[in-house]
Amino acid sequence: MSDARLSGPPAASRRRWSWTDPKLRSSVIQIVLALIMVWLVWSFYANATANLSRLGIASGFGFLDNRAGFAISQSLIPYNESMSYGRAFVVGLLNTLLVAFLGVILATLIGFVMGVARLSKNVVIKALASAYVEVTRNLPPLFQIMFWYLAVLSTLPGPRQSWGFGLQPLLGSIGSGLSAIGLGFLGNPLSGFAAGLSAPSVFVNNRGLVLPRPIFEDGSMAILYALVAAVVASVLIGLWAKKRREATGKPFPAFWTGLALIIVLPLAASYAVGNPVSIETPELRGFNFVGGVRVIPEFVSLLLALAIYTGGFIAEIVRSGILAVSKGQSEAAHSLGLRSGPTLRLVIIPQAMRVIVPPLTSQYLNLTKNSSLGVAVGYPDLFAVFAGTTLNQTGQAIEIIAVTMAVYLTISIVTSMIMGWYNKRVALVER
Amino acid sequence: MKRILFAAVGLLSLAGAVNAATLDEVKARGAVNCGVSQGLPGFSSPNDKNEWSGLDVDFCRAIAAAIFNDPTKVKFSPLSAKDRFTALTSGAIDVLSRNTTWTMSRDTTLGFNFAGVIYYDGQGFLVRKAVGLKSAKELQGASICVQTGTSNELNVSDFFRANNMKNGEVIAFGTIDETVKAYESGRCDVFTADRSQLAAVRLKLTNAADHVILPETISKEPLGPLVRHGDDQWSDLVKWVYFALLNAEELGITQKNVEEQVNSQNPDVKRLLGTDGKYGEGIGLTADWVVRIVKATGNYGEIYDRNVGPATPLGIDRGLNNLWTKGGIQYGMPVR
Ligand SMILES: N[C@@H](CCC(=O)N[C@@H](CS)C(=O)NCC(=O)O)C(=O)O
């Protein structure tokens, strides 16, 4: 039986309305503050709209439907100047996401390689990695973007003198190389064979990288299905292989099997439905190449600069993460007979991840924010297209700056959430 | 980031009550805040000592002379094409005198008033001589460098569409230096801007003689000073400084002879120079406002000849910018 005196009256009714109650006091203050905030924002909004309409300045989001009128040099979706500002916004957003996404991947790869290399016992590798980290972290990102753009990519030859790549020049040069070192019996037929192949299809010039474009005709869906099937199968095989290894200790080359599936299945599907994919090769016509796809130098220089700059910081994070794992761990691994490669991969890095992931997140966010520097080399990201050209053209600063800030904020929050989730996963490895 | 700052200031000033009498603020501050370009020889460019000169610069000096009797009481803010309007809306500058095209949207929904057309211009194309082009119609497939936030960025797309020219690309850069560098490095076949700006940019290139401006003019670019909506007195003042410069030229009043002209018996001259009537008071100044202007900067023709005329490196004929009495379309409204 419960004793009424012991449980007492419900807590709430016992609380007195008093300023000395810290909990109550703080919630009252918070409510008052929130009300003040709401009032501030509202009066800000009311004042701004009143002033705007008094001065005859347009406001609201109606402009998003108006014709943009300007061209954008890189677009992942169909776009031309007769489309709307809203469409231009999406084009800019996708361009920002593209460079940020690829930049994060590249920077992470560079950072891990360099971070590990800085701890190498090989003096040369160690010195190179240290030099890399020191140089890239200390040069401002804008400078690095301009460097790649003006000092490297713009020195490439013009469209008419493009460097062409393809099977033909490669085989041809191997052939002539062989002939040059006295292996003419091998080299000559090879050169002859190469000359018979069609012209090069990949070009590099100061207008960018021009690649052949696959054109998907009817039936191409089969290839996509095959690809999806291959990916699913690889994942399943990977899971199965892991389970089996844990149960029996027998290894299975899941990675290679998956890779083979991903390559072979779509090819087989393509063959089965009669090769529905044709290739459009770029052709030099007039000022530039026509056809194919082109990766513009503005994008390349921004991507390289962001990846290399952020890569330097990530290298430092990785290095300190590895150093944070106690030496005993690698000694124990070695005494179990693991070589240094697998020790690093299976023992050190997984533990280092716990230290690495949180600061890594802020590097990813930095990279995304720094991508707005691309405007200096004419890369049409969200900042350039929307907060730049569109703002200038429409004059609707309030709406555009608010939307732009909201977008960057959203990207940051989503990135942080993904990294937070990943952090929790790696944190479980703790023992 | 500067833009964010301007915009933020703009938001705050819009949210606050902007009921400013700009002229009073300018007088209290002791200087006119004037937005100019980041460096365009002949229109607005600084020398090594950061002294500004050019047609657009002299216009701001004329305003300062009218108010303070001192053409040096101007603070110049160099602005890129895309930052210029937020700077004016936010109140960071009082007047934008930066080769800006008078368009309907800028004059209405963007919230500005243009004071006049200080230079009638049109858009053209600058190309390398070696390419051997005769006409802009041959630009099919070309890469074109343009500065973002300009009317040129819009016109060039229209021109290509209207002439059914495809496969070209337009690359838009933030500042004039970036645009010029990209053109010079070979990233683009063409640099497009207003013809006067092309002439100025051409002089900056390492080998000016290797570049030509194509014959076509693809747009109307009436360039002039502008102010914010909401202050009619200031708007009138800037507008009448412009008309005063034109009227002075038309009446033969120059920097040299203005002192004598004060004694002229010509009724038009008397009204302009304030020896008859007090027209200057209508814009918050004193009757002799034009005397101060012409003493400081000379009349419109003198400003033109000094900065962009045939005797300067730019060497541009008066053409449309001649007075209406001499075959041009510059026309000062009467002081009456
Ligand atoms: N008149 C056009 C173009 C004005 C403009 O900004 N032109 C560029 C062409 S190079 C320029 O003068 N830039 C100088 C600068 O940004 O400082 C407009 O008003 O939109």
One-character DSSP codes across B61-123? HHHHHHHHS-TT-EEEEE--TTTHHHHHHTTS-SEE-SS-B--HHHHTTT-EEE---SEEE-E
In the block, which residue shows the tokens 């490297």? Answer: A152
**Which of A76-90, A168-182, A187-201 comes out lowest in average pLDDT?**
A187-201
Question: pLDDT tens across A346-386, in order?
Answer: 888 888 998 899 999 999 999 999 999 999 899 999 999 99
- Among B34, B40, B221, which is best to mutate for testing ligand 1, by the most ligand atoms less than 8 A from CB? B40
**Can you give the pLDDT of all 336 residues of chain B as single tens digits?**
455 555 555 555 554 444 569 999 999 999 999 999 999 999 999 999 999 999 999 999 999 999 999 999 999 999 999 999 999 999 999 999 999 999 999 999 999 999 999 999 999 999 999 988 889 988 988 999 999 999 999 999 999 888 888 778 999 999 999 999 999 999 999 999 999 999 999 988 989 999 999 999 999 999 999 999 999 999 999 999 999 999 999 999 999 999 999 999 999 999 999 999 999 999 999 999 999 999 999 999 999 999 999 999 999 999 999 999 999 999 999 999
pLDDT of residue A108: 96
How far does A80 lie from chain B, in Å, by closest CA?
A: 9
Please tell me if residue B141 touches chain A, with a CB cutoff of 8 Å.
yes
**Mean pLDDT over the full length of chain A:** 86
Asked if the model's pLDDT at residue A288 lies above 90, the reply is no
Asked if the model's pLDDT at residue A106 lies above 90, the reply is yes
The 3-state DSSP class for residue A217 equals: coil
Please tell me if residue B171 touches chain A, with a CB cutoff of 8 Å.
yes
Please tell me if residue A113 touches chain B, with a CB cutoff of 8 Å.
no
First CA to last CA distance, chain A = 44
Decide if A395 and B81 are in contact by the 8 Å CB cutoff. Answer: no
* CA of residue B38 to ligand 1 center, whole Å: 9
Phi-psi region of B184 (alpha: psi -120 to 50; beta: other; left: phi over 0): alpha
The 3-state DSSP class for residue A120 equals: coil
Nearest by CB to residue B185, choosing from A150, A290, A393, is A150
Which residue's C-alpha comes closest to atom 19 of ligand 1? B100
Four-residue CA torsion sign, A106, A109, A112, A116? negative
- Among B3, B36, B37, B195, which is best to mutate for testing ligand 1, by the most ligand atoms less than 8 A from CB? B37
pLDDT of residue A168: 67
- Does the pTM surpass 0.90? The reply is no
Q: What is the mean pLDDT of residues A180-202?
A: 66
pLDDT of residue A50: 81
- Among B152, B181, B184, which is best to mutate for testing ligand 1, by the most ligand atoms less than 8 A from CB? B152
pLDDT of residue B204: 87
Interface size A-B, in CB pairs within 8 Å, comes to: 161
Judge whether B188 and B171 are in contact, CB under 8 Å.
yes
Interface of B with A in 98-117 (CB under 8 A): 105-106, 108-111
Which range has highest mean pLDDT (A39-48, A268-277, B200-209)?
Answer: B200-209
% chain A with pLDDT above 90: 47
Judge whether B222 and B99 are in contact, CB under 8 Å.
no
pLDDT of residue B2: 53
| Contacts of the segment A151-157: beta carbons below 8 A, 24+ positions apart | A152/A301, A153/A206, A153/A297, A153/A300, A153/A301, A154/A206, A154/A297, A154/B182, A154/B185, A154/B186, A154/B187, A155/A206, A155/B185, A156/A204, A156/A205, A156/A206, A156/A297, A157/A205, A157/A206
Asked if the model's pLDDT at residue A187 lies above 80, the reply is no
**Which of A181-185, A334-338, B256-260 comes out lowest in average pLDDT?**
A181-185
Question: pLDDT tens across A146-157, in order?
Answer: 999 999 999 998
- Give the nearest ligand 1 atom to B221 CA: 1
pLDDT of residue A192: 62
Decide if A154 and B186 are in contact by the 8 Å CB cutoff. Answer: yes
| CA–CA–CA angle B307, B286, B258 (5° rounding) | 45
| Residues of chain B found within 8 Å of residue A48, distances taken between Cβ atoms | 11, 14-15
Q: What is the DSSP letter of A147?
A: I
Closest CA to B168 of B125, B201, B130, B198: B125
Which string of b and e fits B14-37 if b means at least 16 CB within 10 Å?
A: bbeebebebbeebeeeebbbbbbb
Asked if the model's pLDDT at residue A1 lies above 50, the reply is no
Nearest by CB to residue B167, choosing from A80, A81, A290, is A290
| Residues of chain A found within 8 Å of residue B8, distances taken between Cβ atoms | 401
% chain A with pLDDT above 70: 90
Please tell me if residue A407 touches chain B, with a CB cutoff of 8 Å.
no
Q: What is the DSSP letter of A158?
A: P
How far does B145 lie from chain A, in Å, by closest CA?
A: 9
Q: What is the DSSP letter of B310?
A: T
In the block, which residue shows the tokens 């009550």? Answer: B17
Interface of B with A in 82-101 (CB under 8 A): 82, 85-86, 89
Distance, in Å, from the CA atom of B314 to the CA atom of B203, rounded to the nearest integer, reads: 8
**Bridge-based pairing state of the strands B221-223 and B226-228:** unpaired
| Residues of chain A found within 8 Å of residue B16, distances taken between Cβ atoms | 47
Which string of b and e fits A161-173 if b means at least 16 CB within 10 Å?
A: ebebebebbebbe
| Residues of chain A found within 8 Å of residue B3, distances taken between Cβ atoms | 387-388, 391
List ligand 1's pocket residues with C-beta within 6 A.
B 37-40, 80-81, 99-101, 147, 150-152, 175-176, 193-194, 197, 201, 221, 223
Asked if the model's pLDDT at residue A184 lies above 80, the reply is no
| Residues of chain B found within 8 Å of residue A57, distances taken between Cβ atoms | 89, 109-111, 229
* CA of residue A42 to ligand 1 center, whole Å: 38
